[in-house]
Structure 1
Amino acid sequence: MQIYEELKARGLIAQVTDEDEIRDLVNNGKATFYIGFDPTADSLHVGHFMALCLMKRLQMAGNRPVVLVGGGTGMVGDPSGRTDMRQMMTVETIEHNCECFKKQMERFIDFGEGKAIMVNNADWLMKLNYIELLRDVGACFSVNNMLRAECYKQRMEKGLSFLEFNYMIMQSYDFYHLFQEYGCNMQFGGDDQWSNMLGGTELIRRKLGKDAYAMTITLLMNSEGKKMGKTASGAVWLDPNKTSPYEFYQYWRNVGDDDVLKCIRMLTFLPMEEIDKMDSWEGAQLNTAKEILAYELTKLVHGEEEANKAQETARGLFSKGGDTSNMPCTCLQEEDFKEGKIDILSLLVKCGLAASRGEARRLVQQGGVSIGGEKVTDIDQCWGCGDCECGDGLVIKKGKKVFHRAYMEK
């Protein structure tokens, strides 16, 4: 199976323009393609995961990735899928986030000589002359067509700033610039980016002629990725200092039964023949599939050693024993104790297992908290410093799947 057919079989491709040309370029390793990442945080999260895996697959097939970090567009903010305007960031924050992105991407993408490149659209967008841009690029866009784009329709009722209205033009100009400077003949993006991407393809063809080689492919990576990237407690980060390898493993171990095989297809590098055999799995076999998914993705992001540790810890905990050293933990300080004791509500909030004492109270009252294997039923139950210094400290279980260790240094 060639790479384009594999991408379709894995459920990655949603829409394309010029499918025959795209198939030929991709399958013959002749695509120079870009995917954009706006640096809104100092770490990538699992919402970016599908894009990273896609770049890796295409590079392995001989194609050249161009990683575009949005140092320029990040100053404007994409209205796609949003109900409010994105917060402005300083130039220093954007530059820091871009550097963090590159370090994480190097686990997936080969940036060696002649291989993938990383570019920052601030390098050209910040130099644009406003009047020249209006005359040269703005004339190529129909306001009527832009207002029909889904990304803008979502924001019209709550108000769309002129700042955000420029995002499509800026993203389109990115493709135009990359096409001219780097021979970038293909762009990939999520299904919520379709209008913006078509704008880039149309700009190239209007400026350089209809025979200009400019293709677009959209994937289900943003709709699926954004859903994957958020949990009740916030984002699942690729930075181990934000989301530990164990937490990362557990996130994927806990995906729903209906999603596990879809995730294995889209995100792992297991052969399709092996994955197809899992289609008939059900019941306990789906738990095996979840372990496979969690292990493969943790290995991809954090390395084999951390994946092994996370899996051993998870298996040990669920069999009521095992090593807790790799479990997410919180080191308690003396000031966390009042008169030498800490109550269950304060403990849950301190460990980030509840956002407030009210939420912690509800968790306890609903029977969702255990300490050391014993269910906590009293919202006034307390533990002393000594309890947190002995052995593993306090091993907290929230619900059926979330474990956390609270301890004090001896």
Structure 2
Amino acid sequence: MSLLEDLQWRGIIYQQTDEEGIKEVLDKEKISLYCGVDPTADSMHIGHLLPFLTLRRFQQEGHRPIVLVGGATGLIGDPSGKKEERKLQTLDTVNYNVSCIKNQLEHIFNFEGENGAIMVNNYDWDGTMDLVTFLRDYGKYIGVNYMLAKDTVASRLETGISFTEFTYTILQAIDFYHLYQNHNCKMQIGGSDQWGNITTGLELIRKMTSDGAKAFGLTIPLVTKADGTKFGKTESGAIWLDPAKTSPYEFYQFWINTADADVIKYLKYFTFLSREEIEALEKSVEEEPHLRKAQKALAEEMTRLIHGDDSLKQAIKITDALFSGEVKELSADEIKQGFKDVPSFDYNNNKEIGLVDLLVEAKISPSKRQAREDIQNGAIYINGDRNTDVQYMISEQDRIEGQFTIIRRGKKKYFLIRY
């Protein structure tokens, strides 16, 4: 199966500027191609992943990926998908975001070897450009009517769009032209919302080169969920690639909780499992959905890719401990990850405290009478062990690494005591 056939099977291709031309050039040679991201935050989230993972598929077939971080375009703001103007960020903020995102992209691509990835920042060529150069050398090639016809601009005409964001598509076109001239870059890939920006780049290349230049664009579909809710969002917010924002355990949990209706599509989109492996998992979803083999494979592949083997093992350990109740086997760091969102109580005292009093103070039980009943009925667990002693005193020995005690009431209601 060719690369394009594999992308089609996975459902990754949304639009192509020249389907036959792309097929022909990929059959004849190994090309350089690029995908970019603007540093609007200090971390990417999983909504950014699909275009870059698609770029990595090209690298696996011998093509050279160029990874662009938009230090310049990030200062302007892409109007794509926005109903109002973005809040402009300072240069210091954008530069910090650039450094963070570069570190994340280095985990996705191989930068060694004949087709090792190249990482570029468009501030290196856009940041030093003066206004007259922008207008004379580039602006004169892109007509206002052409830009007004772009969906990203047309959708904003009623609510208003500044000249700053209006010119964004020209800046991105300059990127494509620059990479075409300096890195022999023949293709740009991006999300479906980038179609207008990509085609503007092709227009600029066509008009500014006289050698019959041929470049291409390919877009990737918007990732959706079968139930209509937005992909990549949870009650606690976006799923970030930065482990300080979304822990590896939370990242793992997001993928393992994928619905049966979505899991095969996501395996095709995001993982590098073979067609045979995915089809076997699809059969498992149909015949033995309770085993959740497909979800486990998806969670493992994605967590390993973004956070590495050690973080994957830790995420599985936390998951297994919570399922079995053997929470005392967890380290303090693992408890911070696994119990991030459970109710917690700060006990700022080195003295022992009676279990009954703690249950009431931490609002685990509503009253001392109910606390005693809960204990006597075997509903209270301390660090995974059932405790039926109403006279029990919580002491230093009940503190995991001196920092936490985990109280469970009933089968699933966890509470975290912090010291």
Tell whether the structures are fold-level matches, with TM greater than 0.5.
yes
Q: Residue 185 of structure 1 aligns to a residue in which SS?
A: strand
Distance of 1:306 and 1:404 partners within structure 2: 23
Q: Residue 393 of structure 1 aligns to a residue in which SS?
A: strand
Give 1:232 shift: 2.5
1:299-314 correspondence runs (5 A): 299-314=304-319
Distance of 2:18 and 2:31 partners within structure 1: 13
Q: Against the structure 1 CA distance between its residues 165 and 296, is the aligned structure 2 distance closer, same or farther, given a 3 Å change threshold? A: same
Distance of 2:175 and 2:184 partners within structure 1: 12
Q: Against the structure 1 CA distance between its residues 229 and 26, is the aligned structure 2 distance closer, same or farther, given a 3 Å change threshold? A: farther
Give the length in aligned residue pairs.
Answer: 369
Determine if contact 2:31/2:185 at 8 Å carries over to the other structure: yes
Q: Give 1:408's aligned residue.
A: 418
1:131-280 correspondence runs (5 A): 131-209=132-210, 211-220=212-221, 227-280=230-283
Q: What is the identity, as a one-letter code, of the residue corresponding to 1:295?
A: E
Give 1:315 shift: 3.2
Distance of 2:139 and 2:152 partners within structure 1: 18
Give 1:371 shift: 9.2
* Runs of 5+ consecutive residues of structure 1 not aligned to the other structure: 346-369, 374-383
Determine if contact 1:27/1:61 at 8 Å carries over to the other structure: no
Distance of 2:165 and 2:408 partners within structure 1: 45
Q: Give 1:17's aligned residue.
A: 17
Distance of 1:144 and 1:372 partners within structure 2: 69
Identity %: 40
Distance of 1:38 and 1:250 partners within structure 2: 27
Determine if contact 2:107/2:306 at 8 Å carries over to the other structure: yes
Determine if contact 2:35/2:52 at 8 Å carries over to the other structure: no
Give 1:135 shift: 2.6
Determine if contact 1:109/1:116 at 8 Å carries over to the other structure: yes
Distance of 2:108 and 2:245 partners within structure 1: 19
Q: Against the structure 1 CA distance between its residues 99 and 157, is the aligned structure 2 distance closer, same or farther, given a 3 Å change threshold? A: same
Q: Give 1:288's aligned residue.
A: 293
Give 1:390 shift: 4.2
Give 1:221 shift: 5.2
Q: Which has the larger radius of gyration?
A: 2
For normalisation by structure 2, the TM-score amounts to: 0.79
Determine if contact 2:223/2:231 at 8 Å carries over to the other structure: no
Q: Against the structure 1 CA distance between its residues 89 and 54, is the aligned structure 2 distance closer, same or farther, given a 3 Å change threshold? A: same
Q: Residue 33 of structure 1 aligns to a residue in which SS?
A: strand
Computed over aligned residues only, the root mean square deviation of the Cα atoms, in angstroms, reads 3.3
Distance of 2:83 and 2:41 partners within structure 1: 19
Q: Against the structure 1 CA distance between its residues 173 and 32, is the aligned structure 2 distance closer, same or farther, given a 3 Å change threshold? A: same
Distance of 1:104 and 1:4 partners within structure 2: 26
Q: Against the structure 1 CA distance between its residues 228 and 307, is the aligned structure 2 distance closer, same or farther, given a 3 Å change threshold? A: same
Determine if contact 1:387/1:393 at 8 Å carries over to the other structure: no
Determine if contact 1:47/1:227 at 8 Å carries over to the other structure: no
* Runs of 5+ consecutive residues of structure 2 not aligned to the other structure: 350-356, 365-378, 383-392
